[in-house]
Every structure is written in C-alpha cells, then in structure tokens.
C-alpha cells in the first residue's frame, strides 16, 4: 500500500514538473515591443553625392533600432518647398526607398533636401540631406498634355480681355523644367485666354473615364481667379469638333490666391456636358476615345469686374489615381 501511494505521488510530481515548463512564445519578443528605443545604426542613405531621378534612380535609406517602432521619414526641398513623407513600422529601414515622388509640388533639379527620421511617442530624431541631380520624369504615369517646354505640344488662344499670355523661362519659378505660362486678363463675366492641346486619336489609353485624372499646377495671387477645363469630342470621326453635332464637356474650379504653386487634380467623372455658346447635348456620354481637344481656360468666379489670372505648368492626365 505504501509503495502504491509513493507511486501515485511520483506520477503527480512528474506531471507538475511538465506543466511548469516554459511555453514557446509566438510572435516578437516582448522587449522588442515595449523596450527603450535605441539607435543601433545611424540614419543615412546610399546617395551621399546626389541622386539623378531622371535616370529612374532611387534613394535607399539605412538605420536600425532596438525595437519595432512606428517611424516617419519627412523629406523637404529647401528651394521648392516640395515634401514627401514615408511612414512604416519596423526595427530597420531595409525596405525603405524614395523614387523622387512628392506629396504636393515637384522637387527641383540641383536642390538640397532635408530628410528627418522621427518616431511616434519619442523625441528621438535623426537627420540627413540629399542632393537632387535630376528631376523625375512623371510623363510615364499617363499622358503629358504639356509642360510648356515644347511649343509643338500646345497652342495659345487670346481673348479681347487678355492682358498677358506668354510662356516664360525661369527654372527657379517653373514647377518642372524651365518654362511656364503666365496668363491673365481684365474684365467681367468672360474668359481671358487659354492653353489649347490637340489630342491625336488614341492618345488616351484608358477608356473608363472614372479611371482618368486631370492634373495641373497653378500659381495665383489674384482673388477670384478660376480655371475652366473644356474637352471636345469628335463624334462623327471627321477629324474636327462640329458644334451641334459633337459634344463638348466642361469643369470649373477655383484657384487658391496664396501666391504659391498648388496642385489641382480631379477625376473625369466631374465633367458635365457644355450647353453654352451653341454647344448641345448629343448622347450625354463622355467617350474618351473620341476626345480630340482639351482647353485650359483662364476664367473667374462670379461676374464682378477685375483682374484675374495665374501661372500654369505641367498639365498631365494620369490613370487610376491623381498625380
């Protein structure tokens, strides 16, 4: 009986020891989630002498920290004021790249950029700088209407109220490249000139208008300035827009008069049939494959007499998302 009792005690102790063994932990170690942030590798990039985005080059960043952290990389151009932000989670920057894209206006050639690495819930910041040797070419994102560098891309249309309609060359002012258009006028309830772009058949590759975006950069310090985008279809395929036979489309937006470059983007779903000045509705369907012309018109909000206008640069159609 005593032996039997001792045997039961032995089995009980054996199971107790097994149940107290350490379980395997699934997931990152607890110290990697809640430990103190320490920088194990300083912040740097693989482009210490500059990056040429015009050659499709990219910047790769490096840094390593002691814990998994929510980090942010903020890039700001010293001259252009352009910025771009990257946010992610991890304990290093092994998969963090920058291809020269921006959140607002474009970065400029020969521009130094300040780059700051910061962390959520931490005062730790690390900094670096990058020199841009060449601007990124964004034309492969869609269809470039014009950047005002090549006169064959566009035409300029005067109005009796136009006071300024001239392409100027100043790389420190232009949003991309060297050239931009200065357009303005004086009057009321009229238009003040336009950029006219002809579109050869098949120029727009996307047939679903919901996936097409107009993008342009505008700079104005004249209150009440506005832009009207007009598109013209060739419904009967005769190579021209025929009023009363073909449809025209229009969309108007106001400009910020803060005196700075601002990006304006909108989806083709915003276009409505233009039924002014003799234009008529045909079928009410925007067939983008029939579009043969696009006008960017200098206009105004309201009908008060005044001076209206803007600088404009880099007009491009993009697919699936805005620029």
- Position 1 in a domain: no
CB contact set of 304 (below 8 Å; sequence gap of 6+): 188, 224
Residues 149 and 129 in one domain: no
Each residue's pLDDT tens digit, 215-271: 999 999 999 999 999 999 998 888 899 888 899 999 999 999 999 999 999 999 999
Domain that includes residue 74, residue range: 30-134
Q: CA angle, corner 207, sides to 265 and 201, nearest 5? A: 95
Rounded Cα distance between 305 and 137, Å, is: 40
- The answer to whether the Cα torsion of 267, 269, 270, 273 is positive or negative is positive
Residues 196 and 103 in one domain: no
Q: Which of 118, 134, 150 is the last residue of a domain?
A: 134
The pTM (predicted TM-score) of the whole model is: 0.82
- Position 23 in a domain: no
User: Burial code of 152-189, b = ≥16 C-beta within 10 A, e = fewer?
Assistant: eebebbebebbebbebeeeeeebbbbbbbbebbbebee
Residues 75 and 153 in one domain: no
Each residue's pLDDT tens digit, 28-54: 443 445 578 999 999 999 999 999 999
Is the predicted pLDDT of residue 312 greater than 70, yes or no? yes
- Position 269 in a domain: yes
Count of domains in the chain?
A: 2
Rounded Cα distance between 107 and 109, Å, is: 7
- Position 5 in a domain: no
Q: Can you read off the two tokens belonging to residue 296?
A: 């960017």
Residue 321 three-state SS: coil
Segment 4-23 shows an average pLDDT of 46
Residues 120 and 151 in one domain: no
Q: Which of 134, 154, 170 is the last residue of a domain?
A: 134
CATH number of 182's domain: 2.60.120.430
Q: Can you read off the two tokens belonging to residue 65?
A: 């920290």
Residue 90 CB burial class (10 angstroms; 0-12, 13-18, ≥19): middle
CATH number of 105's domain: 2.60.40.1930
What are the phi and psi torsion angles at 55 (to 5°)? Answer: -100, 15
Under 8 Å between Cβ of 181 and 313? yes
Residues 307 and 187 in one domain: yes
Q: CA angle, corner 109, sides to 108 and 113, nearest 5? A: 65
Residues 125 and 244 in one domain: no
Nearest one of 222, 254, 265 to 104, comparing CA atoms: 265
Residues 157 and 209 in one domain: yes
pLDDT at 35: 73
Each residue's pLDDT tens digit, 108-167: 999 999 999 999 999 999 999 999 999 999 998 999 999 999 999 999 999 999 999 999
- Position 178 in a domain: yes
Q: Which of 68, 103, 134 is the last residue of a domain?
A: 134
């Amino acid at each position: 009986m005593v032996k039997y009792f001792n045997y039961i005690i032995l089995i009980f102790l054996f199971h107790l020891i097994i149940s107290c063994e350490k379980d395997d932990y699934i997931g990152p170690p607890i110290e990697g989630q809640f430990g103190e942030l320490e920088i194990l590798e300083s912040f740097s990039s693989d482009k210490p002498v500059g990056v040429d985005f015009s050659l499709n080059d990219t910047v790769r960043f490096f840094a390593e920290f002691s814990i998994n952290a929510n980090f942010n990389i903020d890039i700001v151009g010293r001259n252009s004021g352009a910025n771009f932000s990257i946010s992610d989670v991890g304990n290093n920057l092994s998969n963090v790249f920058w291809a020269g894209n921006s959140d607002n206006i474009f970065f400029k050639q020969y521009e130094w950029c300040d780059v700051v690495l910061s962390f959520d819930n931490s005062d730790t910041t690390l900094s670096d700088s990058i020199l841009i040797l060449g601007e990124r070419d964004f034309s492969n994102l869609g269809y470039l209407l014009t950047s005002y560098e090549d006169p064959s891309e566009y035409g300029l249309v005067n109005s009796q109220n136009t006071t300024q309609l001239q392409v100027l060359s100043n790389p420190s002012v232009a949003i991309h490249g060297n050239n931009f258009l200065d357009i303005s006028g004086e009057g009321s309830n009229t238009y003040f000139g336009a950029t006219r772009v002809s579109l050869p058949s098949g120029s727009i590759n996307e047939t679903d208008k919901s996936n097409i975006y107009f993008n342009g950069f505008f700079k104005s310090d004249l209150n009440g300035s506005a832009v009207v985008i007009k598109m013209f279809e060739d419904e009967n395929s005769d190579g021209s827009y025929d009023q009363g036979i073909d449809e025209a489309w229009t969309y108007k937006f106001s400009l910020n008069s803060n005196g700075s470059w601002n990006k304006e983007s909108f989806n083709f779903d915003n276009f409505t049939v233009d039924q002014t000045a003799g234009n008529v509705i045909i079928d009410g369907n925007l067939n983008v494959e029939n579009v043969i012309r696009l006008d960017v018109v200098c206009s105004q909000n309201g009908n008060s007499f005044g001076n209206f206008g803007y600088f404009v640069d880099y007009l491009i159609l993009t697919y699936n998302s805005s620029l």
